[in-house]
Structure 1
Amino acid sequence: MIDFSKFVEFHGLKKWAALLVMFSVLFLPSQVFAEAGVEPRRIVLGSHQPLSGPMKTYSQVGRGALIYFQYLNDQGGIHGRQLVLLQRDDRFQPQRTLEVVEKLVMKDRVFALFSGIGTDTSESAMPLLKSQGVPHFFIGSNARRFTEPARHGIFGLLPTAEVEARVLGAFVGSNHPGEKVILWYRDEPEYKLASKEISQKLQGNPLQFLPSKKGSTQFQAEWDAIRVGNPRAVIALGPYAPLIKFLRTADITGPPIFTGNALADSSLIRNLDSRIIDRLRVLTSFPMLLETDHPGIRLHQALLREYAPDMRGSRWTVYGHAVAELMAEVLNRSGRELTREVAIRSAENLKTWNGKLMPPVHLNPSQHLSMTFLKVSRIMPTQVQHLSDWIDGR
């Protein structure tokens, strides 16, 4: 019978240890040493979405992204890996967000968070992501807190109120030189900051400020003040709910009304009198479903027919498809040797890239906001008229 202890002693423990290390490097599966969420044939992403509850409509963003990832997977994936998106329901509640993100990170071991929806929801998970070194690519929020200043591994998607203000100010200043402008804005911190950006852009214009107190519903009185002010253009900045109520009380005739990206939706005709829409100029980013000849919209509709025949397209499915294009571009540029740090650097090196649905994207180590290029457009019952080319709001 062989005495194994003497065998080891004879050949030397150090020699066996060295051979064991060499064997591990040469023959053990590569995933033993890979980044979390990166496997030989899969990349696993995670997302928190309101899959139920009053904000469930936003879950169409995740569905749109899944459809595009399915399409890519059928083309062979990214560098031979299939894209897997684990979506978890947070009901748009920050405490639940933290719970589901903890499971995604600690149990499911996702590579990164992708396109989580909401400001307070996404913010609730930031300490956990930082402690675990997990990036969050392209948060579904327009809050400046995620990108000003830039945080390592954290990338925003939607334009902030300040970005929108710079674009609107540049366009109105060029197209209404020297003319009086009235700026209506919701009296909240982000829109106060945005009003300063408007003021900077319209130094050559007589500019009247009309702040609307948070919670106020005195929209008719505000329009009376605008009428008395007799402007040649009106700029309106605010969250969707008070903004749409303000616009519903507008006169059907009057100067053009310029507003942000919140109303850039083909279904706008169902929410506002068509005669008021006639006065409206909105900021657009993704192409809209009305733009049936747009190559990106044609692809989107084809993918819906192929992968989700039960689903109708919406601004949110387009959004999901668009942000999935952006994520795929980052992963593609990261190459086969994928790590979180490589993906972060790849995102930071996107220089005026645009996909079939995404507007131009320009990122760098100090600029982590994806959507800063916008167009000024008119939405009509059957078409979209773009009044400008891309304007950079950085």
Structure 2
Amino acid sequence: MISGGAHWRSILLVLCLACLACRGSEALAQGRGGYALGMSAAFSGPSDGLGVELYRGSMAYFTYLNAHGGIHGKPVSISILDDGYQPGPAIDNTIRFLQGDEPLCLFDYVGTPTVTRILPLLKGYGGRRKLLFFPFSGAEPQREPPYTRYVFNLRASYRQELAGLVDRFLALGRRRLAVFYQADAFGRSGWDGAHRALKSHGYSLVGEATYRRGTRFAESMKQQVDILMHANPDAILSIGSYAACAALIRDARDMGLAVPIANVSFVGSEKLLYLLQEAGRERGRDYTSNLVNSQVVPSYEDLSLPAVREYRELMDRYAPEAPALADGNYEPLRYSFTSFEGFLNAKAMARILETYDANPASGLRAAAESLAEADIGIDEPLRFGPNRHQGLDRVYFTTVRDGKFVPMDERQWQAWQR
């Protein structure tokens, strides 16, 4: 028989153990919370379409993923901050992300001038380090020591894009190539890629013109066109954002420069095309001929690919809204190369998080490096490893047909034969 005092002590002990069990369960539940990813990108300014569409593509997949249980029951979210495609705010945003326990990592950053400036922070800020996954940039600094170990890239590099374009133009007998580029780290990275590609064939650039970051479509590019026309190019390689590149195309055609103009993937093909079509309607002319855009993801018109079919279905089903940070008048695109890249970024990130969740002690880097041959539903497997932090290498070429950018075929290339 238990005495009265012992009886109450037993009850208190049970209550204490129950309380501790509840607290333990609460702590366990918190430990099994969702995975937050930190994204700093242009959600305002003349390049806002890049940040908004990359985010929307990623959210289409994460919304689907969360509706089907997330990562072993844990939802994935994106914490977003606007940097306006400017290095200063990007640095501030990154410091903010690094100072807290969340997000788990950085994700979907947009732009070379922003990404290159935050790289030193990834090595350690206030004793805190976080990896950067899948920046929307093909520049070299995040692909080379000492930063490559802190960054995982999904897309091919600008060097690969420009090497592909240069090889194509040279094969057509178009050897006099000029460049138009943004006067910052992004533009210089593209200039370097074009220079290297031509030099490997024994050629050099015949001319170059620059513009300042943040230039809007309404601004004149006549001075730049005049510089390029004096170089008498066979084609122009354009490394910039959609507003400035569209302005160059408009003014080049108005001034009689009709040679092919090639833009790299960062340009934002659909936004570029929209500006050119609007200008064409206003002026009664076609600004969309003799264009080629390199891409680092397959065409979202290629329905033979499982990822394309899934992307289109989920974009239609969830129709992700532009975030509150975006301009209230922003009109989301139904499909785009940028949002498709964001979609693939999310698919790849989910694969990494699944591996990480099964063994968090191994770390996020090890989880990513374990994806040596991952199928994400396109025509190229995703390959990472301890000495490989770029998942894809293929470059695609598109041109305008029937009012949209579509894969370019050999007949269209041959139309430019000299």
**How many residue pairs are counted as aligned between the two chains?**
350
Tell me the alpha carbon deviations over residues 179-199 of structure 1, each in whole angstroms, 9 at most, x when there is no partner.
241111147532442233222
Report what 1:376 is aligned to: 397
Report what 1:4 is aligned to: none
Report what 2:364 is aligned to: 343
Distance 2:42 2:190 in 1: 26
Q: Tell me whether 1:81 sits opposite 2:81 in the alignment.
A: no
* CA distance 1:218–1:366, shift in 2 (3 Å): farther
Question: TM-score scaled by structure 1?
Answer: 0.72
Q: Tell me whether 1:244 sits opposite 2:266 in the alignment.
A: no
Gaps of 5+ in 1: 1-23, 389-394
The correspondence of residues 218-367 of structure 1 with structure 2, limited to 5 A, is: 218-222=223-227, 224-225=229-230, 227=232, 231=234, 234-240=235-241, 241-251=243-253, 256-263=260-267, 265-272=269-276, 277-288=288-299, 295-308=306-319, 312-315=333-336, 316-334=338-356, 336-339=358-361, 342-351=363-372, 353=374, 355-356=376-377, 360-367=381-388
* CA distance 1:223–1:328, shift in 2 (3 Å): same
- 1:65, CA displacement in angstroms? 1.5
Contact 2:59–2:320 (8 Å) recurs in 1: no
- 1:353, CA displacement in angstroms? 4.3
107-116 vs 131-140, greater mean Cα deviation: 107-116
Distance 1:83 1:73 in 2: 7
Q: Tell me whether 1:182 sits opposite 2:163 in the alignment.
A: no
Secondary structure class of the residue paired with 1:283: strand
| Aligned amino acid, residue 195 of structure 1 | A
Report what 2:58 is aligned to: 65
- 1:55, CA displacement in angstroms? 4.7
Secondary structure class of the residue paired with 1:277: coil
- 1:124, CA displacement in angstroms? 5.0
Gaps of 5+ in 2: 1-19, 213-220, 322-331, 411-418
Q: Tell me whether 1:162 sits opposite 2:154 in the alignment.
A: no
Contact 2:229–2:257 (8 Å) recurs in 1: no
Q: Tell me whether 1:148 sits opposite 2:144 in the alignment.
A: yes
- 1:326, CA displacement in angstroms? 1.7
Secondary structure class of the residue paired with 1:347: helix
* CA distance 1:293–1:278, shift in 2 (3 Å): farther
* CA distance 1:55–1:254, shift in 2 (3 Å): closer
Distance 1:255 1:94 in 2: 34
Report what 2:208 is aligned to: 211
Report what 1:194 is aligned to: 193
Distance 1:92 1:220 in 2: 25
How large is the Cα RMSD of the aligned pairs?
A: 3.9
Distance 1:180 1:140 in 2: 30
Contact 2:138–2:157 (8 Å) recurs in 1: yes
* CA distance 1:246–1:182, shift in 2 (3 Å): farther
Question: TM-score scaled by structure 2?
Answer: 0.68
* CA distance 1:334–1:55, shift in 2 (3 Å): same
Secondary structure class of the residue paired with 2:360: coil
Question: Identity rate of aligned residues, in percent?
Answer: 21
Report what 2:31 is aligned to: 39
* CA distance 1:85–1:254, shift in 2 (3 Å): closer
Report what 1:386 is aligned to: 408
Contact 2:83–2:93 (8 Å) recurs in 1: yes
Secondary structure class of the residue paired with 1:271: helix
